[in-house]
Structure 1
C-alpha cells in the first residue's frame, strides 16, 4: 500500500503515478498509426490514451479503468463523419434541405449530451465497479434547449423595453441603462445555466448503485460569474486606456481629412501599432484569467459540496495562480517543441489536477453494488467530440 493513503476517515489523496516519458511513446505510436491508417486507428488511440490516464490515477490504493472497445468508437466515428459529410453536401447543393437537417441535428444535441455522459460513465470503473449516469433526456432538453431559449427571449424583451424609450429620449441615456441592465442580466443567466448543467450532471451520477449528491446553489454560481467579471475589469480598463489615444488619433485624422491638430498628441504609426497589439494581448490575458477563475472556482465549489452515499466527501483545492502558471508553462512547452511536447503537457496537467483532489471518509465501508446497465453505442460520444462541445464537470 502506497504511503499517500490515509486510513479510516482521513483524507485519501488522488495520485497520478506515471511520468511524461512513458506517455510520450504511447502518444507517438498513436500519432504515427493514426496518420498511416488515415485516422482509422484513432479509435484505438483514444482507448489507449484513456486507459493510460485512468489506469494510472489512484485513490486509496486502487486505480480506475476504462472499458470502451475501439470498434465501438470506430463505428460511432464513421456514422458521425458520414452524417457531417452528408450535411455539408446538402448545405452546398440543396441549402434549404441542408438547413432543415441542421435544425434537426441541433434539436438532437441535448439527447446526444445525455447519452455521451451515460456512455463515458458506464465505460469507467473503480475497484471493478462501473459508474453510471441516470439523467433523463427530457430534463436534458429543458436544460440545454428550453431554458437557453427562454433566457434569450428574456434578454430580447429587456433590450426592447429599454429601446422603446429611445424614441422620445434624444441622449445616450437608453444605451447606458441598457448596458447597466443587460450585462448583469447576461452574467446572472450564465451563472444559472452553469448551475443547471452541474446539477443535471452530478446529481444523476452513480458509482454502481451509490448516488452522488451535490448540495449546490444558483447563488454561488452567479457569484462566481460576477467575480470573474471583476477579475476581467482591470484588463479591460488597461486595454481601453492603452488604445484610447490611438483611436482618438484615427478618428481625428478621418474627421480632419488627414490633418492632426494639437488636441491629440501625435504618435508614430509604429507606436500606434504597438499600443493596439498590447491592448489586444491585454484583452486576451484578461479573458484567460476570467475563464480560469471560473474553472477553478466552480471545480472547488462543486467538488467541495459533493458526497457519495453521504459517507464519502470529495475535495478540490486548485489555486488560481498555480493553475494559470500550469497553463502558461504547458503552452510554452508545446509551442517551443512544435507540438512534440504535447504529451508532457498532458501528463503535467493530469498530475496537477490529481494532486489538487482528495477524498475523505472510509471508502471501504461504502455499500456499493454493481449495476447491469450497458452502453453499446459510441455515436453520441463521437458526435460530442466532433463538435468539440465541452460539457460536463
Structure 2
C-alpha cells in the first residue's frame, strides 16, 4: 500500500487594485515589464476581475512574487490552492505500472508558473532563393502543373524553419491532393466562362448556385491547412461548422453594410472566433477569449488616427500647399497601414488560448511598415529577385515577436494524441488549399 502526502501550494491573485503612493500608469507599466506581456493583456489584468497571476508556487516562491509585485505597486494577495495528493515512495515505487487500457482523454493538469517559449525562424534568403527560382522555372515549363509541388516545397521550407522549444513545425500535404483541388477549381471556372459566353441566364443561375458552396470551401480549406500542419508529430485540426462559416461569409458582412460599417469590429471578432474556436492541436481545442470592447477600442483608435491625419492633410493643402498636404496624407496612410497590419495580429494572437497556455504577439506598427516598404522597394528595383529575401525577412520578424506562454510543459499533448482514433488521411481528397486566415 502507498501512503499519501499532501503538498501545500500557493497562488498569487490580482484584482486590478494599486497600492498607495503609486499611479495607475506607473503600476501598469511595472506589471507589463515584469511579465513581458502586451498592452491588451495588461488592460485585462486591470479590468477589475480577480485573476490568478501565478499558481503552483511553494510558500517561499509565493513570498518572492508577492514582494516583487508589491514593489511594483500592485495590490496582490497570496492564497492557498486546494491540496493535491501525491504518492509517497514505497517498495512498490520501483515496479513499472501496468500498461493502461483507458482510452479516455487525460484529466486537466494543475496550473503552474508560465514560461515564455519564443518562436524563431532560422531560414535564410539565400537558401530559399534556390527553392523559389526552381519552383518558378518548373511551373512555367509544366504550364502550371508543378505549382502544386511548388506550394508544398514553399510551405515545407517555412514550416520547417519555424521553431519553438527546439522543435520545428511540419507541413504534410500531398502535392497530388492540391493538384486535384486546383483542377476541380479550374473546371468550374471554365464551365462558368463557357456558360457566360453562350447563355447569360445560365451563367447567372450557375453563380447563384455556387454561393452556398462558399462556406463549405472555407471550412474545407481551413481543415486542409490545419490537418496538414503538425508540431512534434501531432497534427492540427479544424472542426468549424458550415453554419458558422455561412454567418462569417454572408450574414455578418451583410449586417455590417446595413449598419453603415458600425459592426466592423464585431464582424472581425466573429471571424476570429470562427477560426480560433474551430481549431485543434491534436484533441485539444483552441479558444478565443476576447472582449468585444477590445475590438471596438482598436478600431476606434484607428479611426481617430485616420481623422487626425485627414484633417491635418486637408488644412495643409488649403492653407500651406498641396505638396505638404500630400506628404501628410501619405504618412497618415502608412501609419494606418502599420497600425492595422501589426495590431490585428497582436489582437488575435494575444486572445488565443490552448488549454492552460497563452500566446503573445508584440509586432510594432512602425517596424512592420518599414519592413514592408523596404521589401517592396527592393523587390521592384531587382525586378522581383529580392522576393525570397523579402519573405524570409518578414517571417523572421513575425516569429521574433511571437511567443507561447507555456504553463508546465507541452508533453501532455502527446499523451492525448495517443488515444486519438484517426482516419485523417481518408478525408483529404475533397479539400481545397484556398487561403483563408485570421491575420
Please tell me the TM-score bracket, short chain as reference: 0.7 to 0.9
Q: Which residue of 2 aligns with 1:62?
A: 167
- Structure 1 CA distance, aligned partners of 2:398 and 2:181? 30
Displacement of 1:288: 4.3
Query: Aligned pair in 2 of structure 1 residues 373, 293: CA closer, same or farther (>3 Å)?
Result: farther
Displacement of 1:292: 3.0
Q: Which residue of 1 aligns with 2:344?
A: 298
Q: Which residue of 2 aligns with 1:355?
A: 400
Displacement of 1:123: 0.3
Taking structure 2 as the reference length, what is the TM-score of the superposition? 0.68
Structure having the larger proportion of residues in helix: 1
Q: Which residue of 2 aligns with 1:260?
A: none
Q: Which residue of 2 aligns with 1:308?
A: 354
Query: Aligned pair in 2 of structure 1 residues 335, 363: CA closer, same or farther (>3 Å)?
Result: farther
**Local SS of the residue matching 2:145:** coil
- Of 134, 138, 141, which aligns to 2:243? 138
Show the 5 A alignment for 1:154-173.
Answer: 154-155=258-259
Tell me if the contact between 1:130 and 1:207 (Cα under 8 Å) persists in the aligned partners.
Answer: yes
Count of aligned pairs: 320
Q: Which residue of 1 aligns with 2:272?
A: 198
- Structure 2 CA distance, aligned partners of 1:319 and 1:289? 11
Gaps of 5+ in 1: 1-7, 156-181, 246-264, 266-270
Q: Which residue of 1 aligns with 2:387?
A: 342
Q: Which residue of 1 aligns with 2:369?
A: 324
Q: Does 1:228 align with 2:302?
A: yes
Displacement of 1:143: 2.2
Displacement of 1:114: 1.4
- Structure 2 CA distance, aligned partners of 1:281 and 1:363? 51
Structure having the larger proportion of residues in strand: 2
Tell me if the contact between 2:286 and 2:352 (Cα under 8 Å) persists in the aligned partners.
Answer: yes
Tell me if the contact between 1:122 and 1:373 (Cα under 8 Å) persists in the aligned partners.
Answer: no
- Structure 2 CA distance, aligned partners of 1:237 and 1:146? 34
- Structure 2 CA distance, aligned partners of 1:314 and 1:231? 27
Gaps of 5+ in 2: 1-112
Displacement of 1:346: 0.2
Query: Aligned pair in 2 of structure 1 residues 230, 78: CA closer, same or farther (>3 Å)?
Result: same
Q: Which residue of 1 aligns with 2:132?
A: 27
Taking structure 1 as the reference length, what is the TM-score of the superposition? 0.76
Structural RMSD (CA): 2.3
- Structure 2 CA distance, aligned partners of 1:232 and 1:292? 12
Show the 5 A alignment for 1:83-94.
Answer: 83-94=188-199
Displacement of 1:298: 2.4
